[in-house]
Amino acid sequence: MALTKRIATGEEEFHGVLIVGGGICGLATALALHIKGIDSLVLERAESLRATGAGISLKANGWRVLEQLKVSEELRELAVPLTGMDMKSIRSDKVIKVPYRNECRCVKRSDLVGTLARHLPAGSIRFGCQVEEISLDPVTRYPIVSTSNGSTIRAKVLIGCDGANSVVAKFLGLKPVRFLPLWAARGLTTFQEGHSFRNKFLNLVGKGMTFRLVPIDDKTIYFSAIQSRLPKGCADSRDPSLIWQVALQAMQGYPEEILDVVRSCEIESVTLAQICYRAPWNMLLQPFQEGTVTVAGDAMHAMGPFIGQGGSASLEDALVLARCLAETATGDDQKPARSVQEVLRSYVKQRRWRILRLCVQAFLNGQLIVASSNLKKVVLRAVVNVLFKGSTTSQWHDQYDCGSL
């Protein structure tokens, strides 16, 4: 097949498909391609599998993709099904209950990336390899990648799955991500004797903080503390102990059972990140593809965690992209790059409107959280009412089916 060839000549390598980024989207794309009979090489800048963020919620649309990747049953055994969401303020006993009609589970990111990686052929991931520069061959227009270790890799297809600060997105000319004045401290807590929380997503709103708690299994809890203010010097901190202390200090007034979750957490699992997004209006015209270079996952559509679709949408990207690229696997190694360009244009066309709708809803929900004036909140709610039938927690997105491999 034209896209499966790997050749090493001196200090240069030639690959059919090169994937930048060994996170969820990069590994899912590699696995989808493998199932379709297409080899790929994943370049990961970290020295081992990365699972920043501790946990991730996957909706029904994401689980449909995992079924196609043949890893769903393995992962379902590691995460309980969630029956709904309870939303309340710490100042009130009133609870808004939102039942889940479709499958939703929260999994450890380490379980997800580990499972995807285990199903890949040996040698599919190259760790400690950071992309420094991307260019196009002046004759073939195929991408050329220069890495931090001095190697040069040529490929017929280059896919950027390297997150919000993607080097591939920068090469394509995508606008930089924007940031909300919100920081998410995330972590895991394991109770060896089991926890008492029901299989529900719990959303607690306090002054300057929204606390989210999600059971992964009968012993493990994933939590996220989203804050609008941080002490000076903490916003860029990578010290788990400091992040943990700051989160606890900001949780004055929260119930003791919630505080116990944070007090008892696995300190090494705690991370802090400012919430970023790609402006939805840029989704209409941004060049998600040039020649045989494209992007997927957060590199394409970083969005805030307000509708819980970042991970599932990235899995959708992987499936659609692999399905499109499989159309070029004709067995003719001289197949012109133009045919690959055509299928990548098809991939972008299929994904653009889907991710635009997701990004718009996530954007509006995020703006509603940070809005300082009541007038702005009224306007935002009115827009949400018009576009999403009056519900900021609508489940239209998890009913989406991107099809089979």
141-172 pLDDT per residue, tens: 999 999 998 899 999 999 999 999 999 999 99
Residue 392's pLDDT is 43
| C-alpha R_g of the chain | 21
Residue 26 has pLDDT above 80, yes or no: yes
pLDDT at residue 5 greater than cutoff 80: no
Q: CA 185, CA 173: separation in Å to the nearest integer?
A: 31
3-class state of residue 289 by DSSP: strand
pLDDT for the residue numbered 178: 96
If pLDDT is split at 50, 70 and 90, which confidence band does 237 have?
Answer: confident
More confident residue, 136 or 396: 136
Distance of alpha carbon 217 from alpha carbon 105, whole angstroms? 9
Q: Which helix (H) or strand (E) holds 310?
A: helix 310-325
**Cα–Cα–Cα angle for 237, 180, 397, rounded to 5 degrees:** 115
pLDDT, tens digit, for every residue of 329-367? 654 455 554 589 999 999 999 999 999 999 999 999 999
Backbone angles phi, psi at 148, to 5 degrees: -65, -20
Residue 166 is encoded by which pair of tokens? 């993607």
> What pLDDT score does 8 carry?
54
79 vs 107: CA distance, rounded Å: 6
CA-CA-CA-CA torsion sign (254, 256, 257, 263): positive
* CA-wise closest residue to 235 among 295, 164, 175, 184: 184
Q: For residue 175, give every residue at least 6 positions away whose Cβ sits within 8 Å of its Cβ, in sequence order, or none.
A: 278, 279, 282, 286
Q: Which H helix or E strand runs over 300? A: helix 298-301
The confidence score (pLDDT) of residue 52 equals 74
Per-residue pLDDT of 184-236, as tens digits, reads 999 999 999 999 999 999 999 988 899 999 999 999 999 999 998 887 767 77
Residue type, 43: L
Beta carbons within 8 Å of 403's beta carbon, 6+ residues apart? 319, 320, 323
Is the pLDDT at 373 greater than 70? The verdict is yes
Which band of pLDDT confidence, cut at 50, 70 and 90, is reported for residue 6? low
Distances (CA, A) of 100 to 87, 201, 355, 381: 13, 10, 22, 22
Pairing of the two strands 84-89 and 6-9: unpaired
How large is the average pLDDT for residues 281-295? 93
Q: Which range (16-20, 167-171, 179-183, 281-285) has the least confidence?
A: 281-285
pLDDT of residue 384: 84
Helix axes of 60-68 and 24-35: crossing angle, nearest 10 degrees: 40
The one-letter amino acid at 95: V
pLDDT band at residue 285 under the 50/70/90 scheme: confident
Percent of the chain with pLDDT over 90: 76
How many CA atoms are closer than 13 Å to the CA of 339, on its beta-carbon side? 13
Element (H, E) at 345: helix 337-370
User: Residue 296 — pLDDT band, cuts 50, 70, 90?
Assistant: very high
Residue percentage of the chain with pLDDT more than 70: 93
**Three-state SS at 190:** strand
Structural domains of the chain in order of their starting residue, each with its CATH number: 6-79+109-178+278-399 (3.50.50.60), 179-277 (3.30.9.30)
Query: Where are the alpha helices (H) located in 51-209, listed in sequence order?
Result: 60-68, 72-76, 109-118, 167-172
